[in-house]
Amino acid sequence: MLKLAKRYHVDVLQAITWNYSTAILLTWLIFKPHWISLQVAPVTTLAGLGILLPVLFVVLGASVTTTGIVRTDVAQRLSLFIPILASYFVFGETLHAVKITGIALGLVAIVCSIPWGKSTGGKASRGGWFYLLVVFIGMGVIDVLFKQLSAFKAVPYTSLLFMVFILSFICALIMLIIKISSGKTKFSFPHILIGWALGIANFGNILFYLKAHQALVNKPSTVFTAMNIGVIVMGTLVGLFIFKEKLSTLNKVGIFLALIAVIVIFNF
């Protein structure tokens, strides 16, 4: 959807803002979450996600503009290093030899899946590398924060998810109001419809990501790696069959290694 947004000149910030309104509504209708007291809520984790989720979308857009889509893609995919390290040093997971082999295969698959031969779509300016660093760190930190959120047992995770979406919507709305008031964009009703459609996908993505962490509570590296590899494989297949993109031999090797990595990680 974001690829189509670029093609049809959609204002990503407007779409992202209204996407959270759909996520809020779906969470409310499906799970009937309860309001939670700030005294029992993981305030730091909620605030971190509520700010990082919408802000990072804006940074991604700036990174693509200043450094190119390929460099941004590399930074986003390699951010897997951060939650993998957190699995061991923060969450205390024991990584045996076979699991480490699977993770290593996954990291190699990520590198192989990157379209190295394509034009970056822009030159990396001096400030552009700052955006790449923020994308790399931000994506990794978001993964870690979601793991922490799934491990919080004092409050139902659906209520926590509800709060994340509300905070993200407020943050995105503030950024949108500033952008409109400064004359950098104009309010457009079609963007609301686009955002609502995006919100359905975003809601499902985050919901099942949290469920995966709860189901595999002692195996955070499995969730981190499988999610990132899944994004690569599905994204590549969508690009191949829907957008008619061509795959290099290295890209095909990357997909094959990704599938092997998932099998190794989940079965050993």
Per-domain boundaries in the chain: 2-100+119-219
Residue 120 pLDDT greater than 50, yes or no: no
Q: What is the value of pTM for the model shown?
A: 0.80
Which parts of the chain are beta strand (E)? none
Distance between CA atoms of residues 116 and 160, nearest Å: 39
Give the pLDDT mean for 177-188.
90
pLDDT at 223: 87
Q: Residue 114's closest CA among 251, 14, 256, 263?
A: 251
Residue 18 pLDDT greater than 80, yes or no: yes
pLDDT at 60: 83
Q: Which residue has the higher pLDDT, 224 or 122?
A: 224
Residue 162 pLDDT greater than 80, yes or no: yes
Work out the pLDDT band at 127, boundaries 50, 70, 90.
low
Q: Which residue has the higher pLDDT, 215 or 106?
A: 215
Q: Residue 251's closest CA among 154, 46, 113?
A: 113
Distance between CA atoms of residues 220 and 141, nearest Å: 14
End-to-end CA distance of the chain: 35
Residue 107 pLDDT greater than 90, yes or no: no
pLDDT in tens, 34-60: 888 777 889 999 999 999 999 998 888
Estimate the crossing angle of helix 43-67 against helix 157-181, to 10 degrees.
40
